Amino acid sequence: MQRDDMPLFRWQPPVKVILFPLTKRIGKVRHTAQKLLGKQGDDADLYWKQVMSANRKHLERIGLSDDEIDDQLREFFDAVQGELRRLTYCGQGTGGAA
């Protein structure tokens, strides 16, 4: 048996390309953050749950595994939080004098 004939050397990890990962959808991230800035309490919670539910359904429809979906949603959460910080720091948030 030659070294090149061994199955281990031919193995390739499965590749799944996500054409538009949630974190790269800058418009969606910014829109979500802007909407959240205008909401408080239960309204903000309800809106966030609706956004995450819609994102989860979309990712399930395109065939991602539960772990991949969780990773995408976690990264989206981080992106929205970063945008909220940016908006607040730049004084674009709603209310308050900065």
- 18 lies in a domain? no
- CA gap 76, 71 in Å, rounded: 9
Total of domains in the chain: 1
- 8 lies in a domain? no
Closest-CA residue to 23 (of 96, 88, 82, 97): 82
Q: What's the pLDDT band for 90 if we cut at 50, 70, 90?
A: confident
**Predicted TM-score (pTM) of this structure:** 0.74
> What's the domain range around 51?
42-88
Q: What's the pLDDT band for 92 if we cut at 50, 70, 90?
A: low
